[in-house]
Structure 1
Amino acid sequence: MSYQVLARKWRPKIFEELVGQESVVRALVNGLDHDRVHHAFLFTGTRGVGKTTLARILAKCLNCEAGVTSKPCGECGSCVDIDEGRFVDMMEIDAASRTKVDDTRELLESVQFTPTRGRFKVYIIDEVHMLSTSSFNALLKTLEEPPPHVKFVLATTDAQKIPVTILSRCLKFNLRRLLPNQISDYLEKILSAESVESEPAAVSRISRAADGSMRDGLSLLDQAIAYGGGKLTDEDVANMLGSVDHAHIASMLRAVASADAQQVLELVAELAAQARDLESVLEEVAEVLHRINLVQLAPEYQDPERSDWESIVQLADLLSAEDAQLFYEVAIHGARDLGLAPDPRTGLEMALLRMLAFKPLEEPGSGHAQQKQPATASPPKAAGKAAAPARTKTAESVASGQDAQNKPRFKAPRDSKDWHGLMPKLRLSGPVRELARNIELESCSGDRWQFLIPDSVRHLGSRALVQKLQTELSSQLGQAISLHVHTASEPLTTPAVVGEQASQQRLSEAERAILQDPTVQELQEGMGAEIVKDSIQPLQ
């Protein structure tokens, strides 16, 4: 007997075997069990998620010799013939190859005849969006009021191209893209039944490469088994797919974190020499950066399906959360624009170099910046005693500079009013500055500062932003402080509120000055002029 591919051999034959479409299955099962079966169905979704499979199972449920049921027996003549694709009353039409109106009319001529063998005649029209406008028009009347023995099942990957007149006559179901863990669970079940040795990492790599399509996953599994000679190893699958392993991605991000452009380019050259899929590298980089940010902001969350979290934790120590977010944006934009590059290697190199070019500079007082400063060369011995006063003066200048740097720039605030005067003096920007503008000092006792934040902007009080503000305050105060932020439902007197009130007061004074101006009053009385209040702005 000839070999049957896994995608056909392991095609689900009952609703319970279908993966990832529980909501659609539930609606169909309830309709069948309560005898509320619509005459036209439309299944939409990407390729390989089960549209045609659902249509065939529905045809079995309607024509099983045991009666209309949501659990067909799978053993009667009708069920067997439908599984083998030779049931006379189930017609599968490929709309992509039969787009003309004459083909549709020929199909509709057979609708009036009663079923030859089954209970219903089921018309499955795949890729229905490929039909011409005339074909859709010819289908309208029959689709709206078909004979009682006819059921239509339409399937498409692009529902937007279907006329609304067709959509309104069908019961529409959107089939979801499958998650990698759903695909990998099904692949492991198949490998166990087929007695194929496999590595979990290899199955996981195939499930991610399937990109939400079970059929693609099964086709890749077939290919991988043939490539590995009956075994499934992660190394063989990576070579077959041309994908890049995690170690290379981790090395690339370490080089980016250390601003080593030479190492980055050498790693890209190594991948190109191995004929890896360079177009997928940026997607892998983005995926790793996503997990790095998870470790930084939600350390308790770790996907049990992945086994390389130790490496991710190490990378998270090398990158700040802001850098990880920036690099993620660069990676996904670089992947999107890769088709516009002269070649994939050039596009990949430029995206990685862009991460280095736009990486934020270190703060002057940070440890990294201090390490990068060159050491002061010792004066030559030939200078003798004449150089001694210069060395002493230089040392004193350095010491005084360090004292000035360590000296606090301000004193701790005692109340909310002090905080209003202090906030504009802080070196803050972006979301951290917005946090400082929208909090009110509740109490300041020693190193514990307690603030209130309005409930309407509580999203600004995230742990990361509070930590950054605490670091900045500690640095400028010259001592470590502990910052605590709590939400409050009552109105608060925050720097933002005070600033808005001051702005409104200046605007009111400007409007009053315009209205009391003699020239303006003369224009109003003599020429009927009107003042456009929205155009009045106070002097800065």
Structure 2
Amino acid sequence: MSQVLYRKYRPQTFDEVEGQEHVVQTLKGAVGSGRIGHAYLFAGPRGTGKTTMARLLAKALNCAKDGQLICNKCSNCSSVNENRFMDLIEIDAASNRGIDEIRNIKDSAQVASSHGGYKIFIIDEVHMLTPQAFNALLKVLEEPPSHVVFILATTEPHKVIDTILSRVQRFDFRKLTDSQIASKINRVAKKENIVIDSNSVSQIVWASEGSLRDAENALAKLVVFTEGKITSDLSSQILGIVPSQTNKEFLEFLFKKDTKSAIKLVGDIYESGLDLENFVSQFLLYLRRQLLESFNVPPGEGFEPAFLASAIRAFIKTKTELKTSPLPQLPIELAVWEITQAGNKSV
């Protein structure tokens, strides 16, 4: 289901791409003017549209209809959409990372495209190539055939060797904003006749961490478990997200120095099976939002900025300690104790 949703709503034109306007405008200008580079590097976090953009560029370079970047009607565009375009070769460098694979690419690049246009090679996760494979790829990029375009995609551009970087046009993809992801999720839900409340959308956005693909996969997962009617209680349970009301209660316990209630709440979260690292990450985001809001609140109202800043520092430390603690809840309980007992001279 997740794959179906993600692929079903994959952008089919440049204008449908979310959140990468700087890349879209540059590529549209290059294709429209005929100033085509022989090699591109698409770098950025997972799920931000690197492979999608590469496929769109492949369509734009081979669209047979004059006057349009991508018509989605000609045989070339249709073939790309249906994954049967012979001159679009996609390689996953995570599993095809050796020199033999790059030599095969080199041999294939010497052969003219089957339809007289561009032959496109998309190498995903290019940073996974072996040193020998990188050197072989470099030789291809040094003297590329005129009918070939290489599109390299990576989540870790710092692992791509400098000699490769110097021979490509680099485009950096950004994580999508919360509003961009929420907008896409709402549009997909409407088209699929999925009933979803705003809190569930917010939870999907949080879980996606700026990745549109992860957000669409999360939506599909929820649809399977909820049969098309998604509520915040169900989504928080399925996605492993602590409800916002729980964050609010926890912060109030800390502020009131109610150690017992705060530690009990930590135990309840742990017993419910929710991941405590996720809880701390979510609580830190909640604390940050409260801190930013506190700057606009008159003194004496709401939470004091100094208290919130102290809590943020404590839970940043807690997040690190969780990775090595033999008892998952212990670092959080210690943070609770430190925050609620602050200023108590008897401690």
Which category of TM-score, normalised to the shorter sequence, fits these structures? over 0.9
1:444-476 C-alpha deviation (Å, 9 max, x unpaired) = xxxxxxxxxxxxxxxxxxxxxxxxxxxxxxxxx
User: Which amino acid is 1:34 matched to?
Assistant: S
Alignment of 1:161-240 (within 5 A): 161-240=159-238
Secondary structure, counterpart of 2:112 in structure 1:
coil
Alignment of 1:19-418 (within 5 A): 19-67=18-66, 69=68, 71-299=69-297, 317=301, 319-357=303-341, 359-360=342-343
User: Which amino acid is 1:346 matched to?
Assistant: L
1:415-458 C-alpha deviation (Å, 9 max, x unpaired) = xxxxxxxxxxxxxxxxxxxxxxxxxxxxxxxxxxxxxxxxxxxx
| Gap change, CA 1:257 and 1:3, over 3 Å in 2 | closer
User: Which amino acid is 1:19 matched to?
Assistant: E
1:512-531 C-alpha deviation (Å, 9 max, x unpaired) = xxxxxxxxxxxxxxxxxxxx
Secondary structure, counterpart of 1:344 in structure 2:
coil
8 Å contact 1:48–1:216 — kept in the other structure? yes
1:65, CA displacement in angstroms?
0.8
Q: Matched residues in 2 for 1:330 and 1:256: separation? A: 12
Q: Matched residues in 2 for 1:195 and 1:49: separation? A: 25
| Gap change, CA 1:68 and 1:51, over 3 Å in 2 | farther
Q: Matched residues in 2 for 1:236 and 1:244: separation? A: 11
| Gap change, CA 1:277 and 1:268, over 3 Å in 2 | same
| Gap change, CA 1:60 and 1:118, over 3 Å in 2 | farther
8 Å contact 1:63–1:118 — kept in the other structure? no
8 Å contact 2:99–2:136 — kept in the other structure? yes
1:102, CA displacement in angstroms?
1.7
Corresponding pairs, count: 345
Q: Matched residues in 1 for 2:327 and 2:78: separation? A: 51
| Gap change, CA 1:266 and 1:317, over 3 Å in 2 | farther
| Gap change, CA 1:67 and 1:169, over 3 Å in 2 | farther
Q: Matched residues in 2 for 1:260 and 1:144: separation? A: 67
Q: Matched residues in 2 for 1:111 and 1:286: separation? A: 50
8 Å contact 1:89–1:118 — kept in the other structure? no
Question: 5+ unaligned residues in a row in structure 1: which ranges?
Answer: 301-312, 363-540
Secondary structure, counterpart of 1:209 in structure 2:
helix
1:299, CA displacement in angstroms?
4.4
User: Which amino acid is 2:315 matched to?
Assistant: A
Q: Matched residues in 1 for 2:128 and 2:270: separation? A: 40
TM-score calculated relative to the size of structure 2: 0.94
1:197-245 C-alpha deviation (Å, 9 max, x unpaired) = 1111111110110111111111110000111111111111011012111
TM-score calculated relative to the size of structure 1: 0.61
| Gap change, CA 1:108 and 1:338, over 3 Å in 2 | same
Secondary structure, counterpart of 2:109 in structure 1:
coil
1:100, CA displacement in angstroms?
1.5
8 Å contact 1:65–1:78 — kept in the other structure? yes
1:3, CA displacement in angstroms?
9.5
1:291, CA displacement in angstroms?
2.1
2:6: which partner in 1?
7
Q: Matched residues in 2 for 1:131 and 1:247: separation? A: 46
Q: Matched residues in 2 for 1:194 and 1:326: separation? A: 45
User: Which amino acid is 1:173 matched to?
Assistant: F
Secondary structure, counterpart of 2:42 in structure 1:
strand
1:348, CA displacement in angstroms?
2.0
Q: Matched residues in 1 for 2:185 and 2:149: separation? A: 33
Relative contact order, higher structure (CA 8 A, sep 6+):
2
1:78, CA displacement in angstroms?
0.6
1:105, CA displacement in angstroms?
0.9
Q: Matched residues in 2 for 1:317 and 1:299: separation? A: 6
- CA root-mean-square deviation: 2.0
1:288, CA displacement in angstroms?
2.1
User: Which amino acid is 1:61 matched to?
Assistant: A
Q: Matched residues in 2 for 1:337 and 1:5: separation? A: 39
For the pair shown, the structure with the greater C-alpha radius of gyration is 1
Q: Matched residues in 1 for 2:230 and 2:330: separation? A: 33
8 Å contact 1:90–1:122 — kept in the other structure? yes
1:284-315 C-alpha deviation (Å, 9 max, x unpaired) = 22222222222221349xxxxxxxxxxxx9xx
Q: Matched residues in 1 for 2:344 and 2:286: separation? A: 23
1:110-146 C-alpha deviation (Å, 9 max, x unpaired) = 1111101251000001111111111111111221221
Secondary structure, counterpart of 2:329 in structure 1:
helix
8 Å contact 2:294–2:302 — kept in the other structure? no
Identical residues among aligned pairs (%): 36
1:68, CA displacement in angstroms?
7.9
1:361, CA displacement in angstroms?
5.9
User: Which amino acid is 2:317 matched to?
Assistant: H
| Gap change, CA 1:96 and 1:288, over 3 Å in 2 | closer
Question: 5+ unaligned residues in a row in structure 2: which ranges?
Answer: none
8 Å contact 1:49–1:178 — kept in the other structure? yes
Q: Matched residues in 2 for 1:43 and 1:258: separation? A: 49
Alignment of 1:368-517 (within 5 A): none
